[in-house]
């Protein structure tokens, strides 16, 4: 296909914060590169980006040396700087991680060590010192992490879309991809348009594995969707900032926590239950084809066998407001059932291997003329500027190699 027949140089699938960060990074690193973003929704950040707790994570939880650790620590500082530069609502609030049971104390101390290995300032607190930060919170011990904050990630996504200079096509769901070595990548959208690019970047989030298979690449993982359910606190004055339990290292979720957002409201949650659709934001949303795909993946059954006790507890808290209340009262005894008001849920796109291993780190893989982001749950929003630069670097490298191989290039 002649160069002029391409609609763009890089075709990005997905208009969440990672896809838009990638477009922004490419146009900053290589001005003049033509980038088109295809997003199936009528606007940006309608799923994982816009349905999380808005926390700018410090990186304290993540294994030293992992992409999550490195990107979250650096990404938090970059995100705060980006928000300040573009006037996006944000605040560096710090947070408490609180142990409420004796068996949690060794895990809390391990987090202190991990934080220090990751270069994160951490203050250890006794039970009496917790009240200095959160007068209504109770616990046996806690740590304070000063670099955690909150921001408007949807606002960040909108700003990236404007500042990138990329062509953003909304309402453009990908239905077919034709990839040939000599013809680039041609994408058919649900509206009947064909968009041709030289390199494709897959940032499709909840559908990233399906998009990878449409290109002809086998991702070797499947997305298993987990719904996170939230409540809003009717008495937000009970919580000053961010309060977290000590997480269970055997499961990649942080547990029910309290988050004062940039609007002053306090979100409580999320729990984590299997969703019956990739965009299954409630028990009433069921998509049989997607559910069948989840059930058919051997890793889904392995997860169920391995974590059924944890899952049963999460399911109980989903179906019983009283059970959810008890989980919250471990940290905030003053909360009453009437204080919990249902809030919109989110769905986490969790990549799972065939043997049931939950992919714990960011996962980026390359195919012919394609870069696939296959696992980018929390803290991906925090680290999105860095992830975008890494994905953009790979896409530009592919473009460069295609340029070298072009007839008449002298090679």
pLDDT in tens, 308-323: 888 898 999 999 999 9
Give percent of the chain with pLDDT exceeding 90: 87
| pLDDT value for 310 | 81
- Average model confidence (pLDDT) for the chain? 93
pLDDT in tens, 90-149: 999 999 999 999 999 999 999 999 999 999 999 999 999 999 999 999 999 999 999 999
> Angle between the 288-296 and 298-319 helix axes, to the nearest 10 degrees?
120
* Residue 15 · residue 164 · CB < 8 Å: no
pLDDT in tens, 157-201: 999 999 999 999 999 999 999 998 677 999 999 999 999 999 999
Binned at pLDDT 50, 70 and 90, residue 409 comes out as very low
Nearest to 12 by CA among 32, 2, 31, 33: 33
| pLDDT value for 411 | 35
For residue 1, pLDDT over 70 is answered with no
pLDDT in tens, 211-252: 999 999 999 999 999 999 999 999 999 999 999 999 877 666
Helix, strand, coil percent values for the chain (each to nearest 5): 35, 25, 35
- CA 84 – CA 90 distance, rounded (Å): 8
Please give the domain boundaries of the chain with CATH numbers for all domains: 1-91+149-221+360-411 (3.50.50.60), 223-233+269-358 (no CATH)
pLDDT in tens, 256-266: 899 999 999 99
pLDDT in tens, 272-281: 999 999 999 9
- CA 373 – CA 207 distance, rounded (Å): 10
| pLDDT value for 404 | 57
- The DSSP bridge pattern shows strands 95-99 and 242-245 to be parallel
Across residues 357-365, what is the average pLDDT? Answer: 95
Nearest to 259 by CA among 345, 150, 333: 150
Instruction: For residue 198, give the 3-state DSSP assignment.
Output: strand
């Amino acid at each position: 296909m002649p160069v002029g027949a391409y609609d763009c140089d890089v075709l990005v699938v997905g208009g969440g914060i990672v896809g838009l960060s990638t477009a922004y990074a490419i146009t900053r690193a290589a001005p003049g590169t033509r980038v088109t973003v295809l997003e199936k929704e009528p606007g940006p950040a309608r799923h994982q980006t816009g349905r999380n707790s808005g926390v700018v994570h410090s990186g304290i939880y993540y294994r030293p040396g992992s992409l999550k650790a490195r990107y979250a620590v650096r990404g938090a500082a970059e995100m705060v700087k980006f928000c300040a530069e573009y006037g996006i609502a944000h605040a560096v609030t710090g947070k408490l991680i609180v142990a409420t049971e004796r068996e949690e104390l060794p895990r809390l101390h391990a987090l202190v060590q991990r934080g220090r290995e990751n270069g994160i300032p951490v203050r250890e607190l006794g039970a009496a010192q917790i009240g200095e930060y959160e007068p209504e919170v109770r616990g046996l011990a806690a740590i304070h992490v000063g670099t955690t904050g909150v921001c408007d990630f949807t606002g960040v996504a909108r700003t990236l879309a404007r500042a990138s200079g990329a062509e953003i096509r909304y309402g453009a769901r990908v239905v077919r991809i034709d990839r040939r070595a000599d013809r680039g990548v041609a994408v058919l959208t649900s509206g009947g348009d064909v968009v041709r690019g030289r390199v494709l970047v897959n940032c499709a989030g909840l559908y990233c594995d399906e998009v990878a298979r449409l290109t002809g690449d086998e991702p070797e993982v499947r997305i298993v969707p987990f719904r996170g359910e939230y409540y809003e606190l009717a008495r937000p004055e009970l919580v000053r900032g961010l309060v977290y339990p000590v997480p269970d290292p055997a499961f990649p979720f942080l547990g029910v926590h309290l988050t004062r957002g940039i609007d002053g409201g306090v979100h409580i949650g999320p729990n984590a239950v299997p969703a019956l659709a990739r965009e299954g934001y409630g028990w009433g949303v069921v998509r049989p084809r997607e559910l069948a795909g989840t059930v058919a993946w051997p890793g889904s059954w392995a997860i169920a066998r391995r974590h059924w006790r944890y899952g049963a507890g999460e399911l109980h808290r989903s179906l019983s407001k009283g059970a959810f209340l008890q989980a919250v009262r471990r940290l905030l005894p003053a909360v009453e059932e009437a204080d919990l008001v249902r809030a919109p849920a989110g769905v986490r796109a969790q990549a799972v291997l065939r043997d049931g291993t939950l992919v714990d780190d960011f996962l980026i893989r390359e195919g012919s003329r394609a870069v696939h982001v296959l696992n980018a749950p929390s803290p991906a929003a925090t680290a999105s500027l860095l992830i975008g630069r890494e994905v953009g670097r790979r896409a530009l490298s592919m473009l460069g190699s295609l340029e070298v191989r072009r007839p008449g290039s002298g090679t």
